[in-house]
Structure 1
Amino acid sequence: MVNKMYFGGVEGGATHSNLVICDETGEVVATSKGPGTNHWQLGIEECATRIIDMIHAAKEHAGFPLDKPLDCLGLTLSGCEQESSNKELAERVRQKDPACARRVHVASDTAGSLFTGAPNGGMVLIAGTGSNALLYNGKQQYGCGGWGFLLGDEGGAYWIAHRAVKTIFDEEDGLRPSPHPIHAVWEVIMEHFGTENRVDLLPHAYKNFDKSKFAGLTQKLSHLALRGDALSRHLFAEAGSALAAHVAALVPKTNARHVRVVCVGSVWNSWELLKPGALKELNIRRVKPELELVRLRVSSAMGAAWLAAKQLDYELPRDDAAFCEILYTYTPEHHMNGNGKVNGTIGNCGSTAGVVGYVSLKERISAATVSNNGLQGRRDKFNFISDVVAVSAPSVVYIEIKDSRRMDLFSGEPLTLSNGSGFIVKEDGLILTNAHVVVNKPNASVRVKLSDGSVHIGVVEDIDMKSDLATLRIPVRGLPIMKLGTSADLKPGEWVVAMGSPLALSNTVTAGVVSSTQRGSAELGLRGKDMVYIQTDAPITFGNSGGPLVNLDGEAIGINSMKVTSGISFAIPIDYVKEFLQKRKTKSPQVSRRYLGITMLSLTPNILMELRMRNPEMPTDIDHGILVWKVIIGSPAYNGGLQPGDIVTNINGKPVQTATDVYAILENSSGLLKVDVVRGRGRLALSVTPEQH
């Protein structure tokens, strides 16, 4: 680092953060990743700690001495809109590690995006779950929007989804007629929320409100719009108009003839749907500057580093073509005729119906009959999930554990203790599943149902409780097998498919992306695991446990293990599985002499924060406990009234901080347990008597 200047930049969101270190030539010399850095969620102290940890990781990776400070560190973080708290955070980072940087500058994540795409002045327009806009004219900054879902978010994904639902309600009530038929949009809404009528939707707007879940409807509406549905196209055009209104509100703050607009967020993936409404709004508002809409190719941590250099009056070199790609160029003269009216062909807006559907009543009527000739073949071309399912599903099996001691009162059959999934890894009948699916079940038999409907008795062969893996075998040969991939090169953001057979429903499929590839067991509070997990937002239900997590090549890259809450699920990396299969050493199930019958997860601060965000009714004073995410039917916990989703805070009057505390109480006590539970907004006192094994 001798005789050179070095600048650091951090892009920080609510869930994850990125850091870069650049030298004075603009070359990236070190990077690191970390968890969320929103100080309103974490507090100043924890936020500062996470930032310093990322700096140390980057310096160590690049071989820089930890005691050699950066010339300046730029932090562009979620929630950093208040100058007083920004100064407090900058000061705390310097106090905790004076050698991290000679100077620390804090700004909002919006500023980070702006200075990545338009460092010399321009606008950033965010349209993700919410929306926000910021203009920098070279001297001052001006904002527009960004007031959250209660007071704004115009043009964002939540705003689009909310308007779709409201349109249905208003049409059904006769309050405000819909401009187009509602049938197709209503079907998508019911499918997304799993409802059958409007009353069923109310919990999603009150008790079970989840902004991200609500906003997720917008992606499905975009697919519907691309198939030509007039109402969904209308909704996206209105969103385009709302986003363009942000631009129109801010451009008077600059005298520039050319303004770059940095477009950030998932809604911009539907630019062709937004464009008709956006161009119409820009023309109505008579926006005069030429607008260059661009999207970022790099992390906005680069903008944070550029901003850091700016604090020292140093212009950090940058390659604009490497940083940005042009989405669209708006030229006022091209879109206006001599009378100030919108020209008949607005830009290059795709299909005619998409353009004229928002200009006049006559044209709206014509837009309702959209030709789908241009859409033919899309199902075959873009159905990548169904292609994965077709290849992988035959090897997925349903596993049912029967209790030979207890009979069902109605059928006379042995009582089902639990169920799960697995998948075939060898043609001679070897099946892989989770250990927790098949152990802790005294006097039980294992039944395996194949994809062809046949049922076979399985024998458990190998068990490893530490990695939660088990194999069982059925007396059948010539079976379809699941190809095993590798988890070492798995990347965050990669598409994955979770497969299983919950409740004997064969080939149940959910899809999502990888949120993290390295979620340590210690971070999750899991006792004695010493391994990392794949975190994904693909829903993993209880019955999916043991099923495969599959990549788009049709390879198993993990085993579905557990779901914490909506959007947070974990899978065991397939590389652990390969090691387990090579050892193939049978181990006795490691069970406590006192058997409770639950699978549990320690509540770390991160998981507690996620639970509070997804359940606003959760008591605010809960700062410890274990989350019950599975209860075995017929077990002591089941008979005592424990349910999945319960939070156990105390047992026999003693606080329960981690799962280890529960094991210790089981091993060091006898008789009945008094269990204090938080369920929803209420608190319960239950009595559970563990079984002796």
Structure 2
Amino acid sequence: MEPTQYFGGVEGGGTHSNLVICDQLGRVVGKSRGPGTNHWALGIDECAQRIIDMLHTAKQDAGIPLDTPLDSLGLTLSGCEQESSNAMLAARVREKDGACAQTIYVASDTAGSLFTGAPNGGMVLIAGTGSNSLLRTPDGQQYGCGGWGYLFGDEGGAYWIAFRAVKTIFDDEDGLRPAPHPTRAVWRAISDHFGADTRADLLPYASKLFDKSQFAGLTAKLSKLAEAGDALSQHLFAEAGAALAAHVAALTERAQRAHSGAAVFRDGIRVVCVGSVWNSWSALKPGALKQLAARREKLNAASVISLAGRRNQFNFIADVVAVSAPSVVYIEIKDGRRADLFTGKSISLSNGSGFIVKEDGLILTNAHVVVNKPNAIVNVRLMDGSNHTGFVESVDLKSDLATLRIPVKNLPTMKLGTSADLRPGEWVVAMGSPLALSNTVTAGVVSSTQRGSAELGIRGKDMVYIQTDAPITFGNSGGPLVNLDGEAIGINSMKVTSGISFAIPIDYVKEFLAKSKTKPPPVSRRYLGITMLSLTENILLELRMRNPEVKESVIAQWAIWLAFRVFNLRN
């Protein structure tokens, strides 16, 4: 039986911290609570000691001996944004207790909350003693906002709310900036929290007696006032809500600018809210929603002017081509017996298109592209420019379908969709080699999904076709008709006139491919052919030169022998 593994984690803020120990199954086996663990406020030595104290308490709660190290200990603490100071803190913890853990990881409180609450990307918004926010996109990019401490930031945090409450009282009394609402209830809360009778009694708490956590504790009393209906307290929390919402808007806008205006989170952003201030969400909500609405209007107004990012956002046809084009091939039929007088190369009889359906080299095309071509050599050119000789495997003249194979492995394949649920008006992309111009793309919509062969004047075929206005012409035959999911839903087959083209539904193709798998391999057949040859003076002379004693009766037999031919014809 394998020994139990233990993993510890600390979530540390400026006011208080929590430590939890879990086993390998994720069950909480021990926990403890302690004071704040921001090393910038405490110093690294004191911060490390507080962590050790909490760890020992949690080990005792879990029944783990103090000299038994955890398998790992993760510290996600307020103020741990710098790698250098994080390394110093981890080293100091290990110095104080060598048996604390085999491995120690240190990261910021935002990073820990983000990877816990939104592992696939999202935002963490901390509103405790201070405030901080971090956004991570699904592709791993990270953007931060706030978290600069009480001198430069902490907007929306508990200290920020408490400070603004005290400042509002001072400014109102001085006549510097009148308070928007009566101040009596808020002043009573301030006086009670600090034990102050006058404003002068508060001054030591801003200098030698300053304690950020103790100052931020006033916010809990203000929260109760807001719940009781005090207008000034509600106003202060609404301003805090607006400040926190500004963090969300700022990070969202930065991420969109970095991604050229494209939607970073298609299904909305998951925001993980951490910190005791969020317990007063009902008081924060009015200001937060108002701020988000204002920033959204600003962003929308800007987007009317700026077109940046629209190419990536709306070029859905290009996305289809990027996925599907590598599997489309150019097919050229050459005459194996005739050569061009100038180049010496085989004469081209016709050309068409096809697409790879199996990575082992199986290609789908129209039957009329590859059959009824005397002395034909099938040449296939892939998208990478390489040329290969193809061999026809299966043909169905009724449905005008054929497969051929090239001796190449690990090829990109076209995904086959379904034509049963195709709808008129649906966007489609026609791909192929019209007029021998390989890698050509045209787009249009489905005009009809059920155009019968009888309606088109085609006799002897009980089939239906997909009608599309995607332009196709000679050479497109055999190429795929693709939907916006990058799936082939038809094979381009016929052009009637501009804007009216037809494709064989892919459901016919699937039946054809299924039958081809069960069809026995082709049998090579040999034929004997005899051609009658007139005996000219030259032929008679040649025969007598070979054997002057030959009789006239044998000359006719030799002439027949000269005309004898054996042909090895393949199906």
- TM-score class, shorter-chain normalisation, is 0.3 to 0.5
TM-score (norm 2): 0.44
Larger Rg: 2
TM-score (norm 1): 0.37
